[in-house]
Structure 1
Amino acid sequence: MKGEAFAYASYSLFAVEADRQAYPAVGKLFRGTARTELNEHLRQAATLAGTVGSNAANLSESIKGETYEHQVMYRGFAAQARADGDLAAAELFTEIAADEGRHRDAYRAALKVVTTGHGTIPAPPKADVVPVPAGPPKVKAARTKANLDTAMHGEALAYAKYRLFAAHARQTGNTALARLFGGTADVELHEHFAGEAVLAGLVRTTKTNLRKAITGEHNEATVVYPGFAKRAAAVGDTTAARFFRDTAADEAKHAAAFRRALDKLG
């Protein structure tokens, strides 16, 4: 699911850059593909994996993830970036670590309300939206670049999962919890992922973005999902095997569509 979530987040940014470069058809293609990755592929994978549970279970899972990112992952990334001289990355990682601690605390308070029936669900955080212009990486060390990639995949997945958790909360009548999950999801994507994308140089020219998308979709169509399908079939999980085969076919179509778009740009 991380790959699908990352594709959604990346393609959404690539669409903005395509619009900026006056390539509206390419922007539309990136947005449509992003929606497929999030609303079809990731959602189906989440259903097969049983990602969404009760509101209490979803909160417990979220607390676990936020605690790890607050106490371990981002603090470690910040220390490494500082040691490698990437001070802007160290500062960003430190800021995000603090944010994740606040998210954890809000989820803990919400879990208490859900389990006891007493109290008030905390208000959702508000994302400080970070624009992501095209440009090269703003960090030097290979380790920092790798950590940014890990962090972006984690933030993209958190966004997608919290969106699913918000939908479940809304379906069960807990609109306050839905707002908390939704607001936190927006912070993960529009603030954390975006800030990391700026430092990583994720967005380049539209032609470069298309080439990157083609490479990724081709790999998923010919290597990743066929491999997953083979392993699922080998253990008798026919439903998952069929999903992986169908997704591989979709990714091949995405790669072809991106190739046609690139060819039209010349």
Structure 2
Amino acid sequence: MSRHSIRRLLVGLCTLTAASQAVTAVALAVPADKHRAAYSAAQALSPQTLSDLTTAMKGEGFAYASYNLYGAQADREGQPAVGKLFRTTAQTELNEHLHEAATLAGAVGTDAANLRQAINGETYEHQVMYRGFADQARKDGDLEAAKLFSEIAADEGRHRDAYRTALMVVTTGRGTVPAPPKAGMVPVSAGLPKVKAARTKANLATAMHGEGFAHASYMLFAAHAEQNGNPALARLFEGTAGVELHEHFAEEAVLAGLVGTTKDNLSKSVTGEHNEATNLYPGFAERAAAVGDTAAATYFRDTADDEAKHAAAFQQALNQMP
């Protein structure tokens, strides 16, 4: 399948307004049989290719969230052209790269399947991941991180419970889908890390990748629910996506010192995009091609080309910085 063919499957999936960074789901223009076809195609992929597609989606979700924060920092520093570059690139990472990988992986199913997937993810984060991260941060003396991880674990438990209720409504036709949570906007300015332990820093990186992926996934699920005539479920997914991005990811970014000066942010972005263009995605493409997953191999190669262009654009912006 060509890159253009993949994109045709994605027409109308989900559009996010970059200027306001609003979290808004729109109705999918993809009929249900397309989702079934994508799901069936995904079942034929090798486990390694599916794993690589998931890694790609987590990376692209993280890039989307990070580049929007970098764009805001550039605006604060009086560099609107760089801010626009970051936001434009963020949209490509989400609305092209991540969504194309999601289509290949059959990541969007029925409303019930999407809810079950969300419940499993939220349960793991509530019961295992964030509680474990909190315990480790406490032992390492990173008490602020331990507090944040514990708070997010509680949030994820509430998200799980809301999704469980929604699943009962979807499967039985009885009851009411819970109201969506309201996300607070956590500001993230340039700053140094507020944690000291290498383990805490690594856990924050893992958590941010998970939150970026959850945000993107829930927006896709919201768009599917809207198309299926379930606006209440769409609003629940949207609202939860907003919490994952604007609260959880942002709070973790503050502790991790994710945002630096615009020069630093550009330099980090060049390094990251260059690695994806020359190492990560070519490796994924080689593995996919070796097992006959030709559509995935094409996606990985094309995405590598895009990331090389991003690296070059960021490098040019960096060279022009005073």
TM normalised by structure 1 equals 0.99
What letter is aligned with 2:222? Answer: A
Residue 48 in 1 paired to residue 96 in 2? no
Report the counterpart of residue 29 of structure 1 in structure 2: 85
- Name segments (4+ residues, structure 1) moved above 2 Å: none
Mapped to 1, the partners of 2:140 and 2:309 lie a distance apart of 41
Report the counterpart of residue 252 of structure 1 in structure 2: 308
Report the counterpart of residue 139 of structure 1 in structure 2: 195
Residue 196 in 1 paired to residue 252 in 2? yes
What letter is aligned with 2:139? Answer: A
- Determine helix, strand or coil for the equivalent of 2:292: coil
> What does the per-residue CA deviation read over 1:210-231, in whole Å, with 9 as the maximum and x for residues that have no partner?
0000000000000011111111
Q: Where do 5+ consecutive residues of structure 2 fail to align?
A: 1-56
Alignment root-mean-square deviation, CA: 0.5
Mapped to 2, the partners of 1:131 and 1:19 lie a distance apart of 13
> What does the per-residue CA deviation read over 1:16-73, in whole Å, with 9 as the maximum and x for residues that have no partner?
0000000000000000000000000000000000000000000000000000000011
Mapped to 2, the partners of 1:236 and 1:80 lie a distance apart of 42
Residue 224 in 1 paired to residue 316 in 2? no
What letter is aligned with 1:216? Answer: G
What is the correspondence of 1:53-64 to structure 2 with a 5 Å cutoff?
53-64=109-120
Aligned identity (percent) is 76
Residue 13 in 1 paired to residue 66 in 2? no
Q: Displacement of 1:128 after TM fit? A: 1.7
> By percentage of residues, which structure has more helix?
1
Match of 2:124 among 68, 72, 96: 68
Q: Where do 5+ consecutive residues of structure 1 fail to align?
A: none
Match of 2:271 among 212, 215, 218: 215
TM normalised by structure 2 equals 0.82
What is the correspondence of 1:72-221 to structure 2 with a 5 Å cutoff?
72-221=128-277
What letter is aligned with 1:155? Answer: E
What letter is aligned with 1:39? Answer: N
Residue 261 in 1 paired to residue 317 in 2? yes
- Determine helix, strand or coil for the equivalent of 1:265: coil
Q: Displacement of 1:133 after TM fit? A: 1.0
> What does the per-residue CA deviation read over 1:154-197, in whole Å, with 9 as the maximum and x for residues that have no partner?
00000000000000000111000000000000000000000000
What letter is aligned with 1:99? Answer: D
Mapped to 2, the partners of 1:133 and 1:33 lie a distance apart of 20
What letter is aligned with 1:187? Answer: V
Mapped to 2, the partners of 1:193 and 1:102 lie a distance apart of 17
Mapped to 2, the partners of 1:145 and 1:159 lie a distance apart of 21
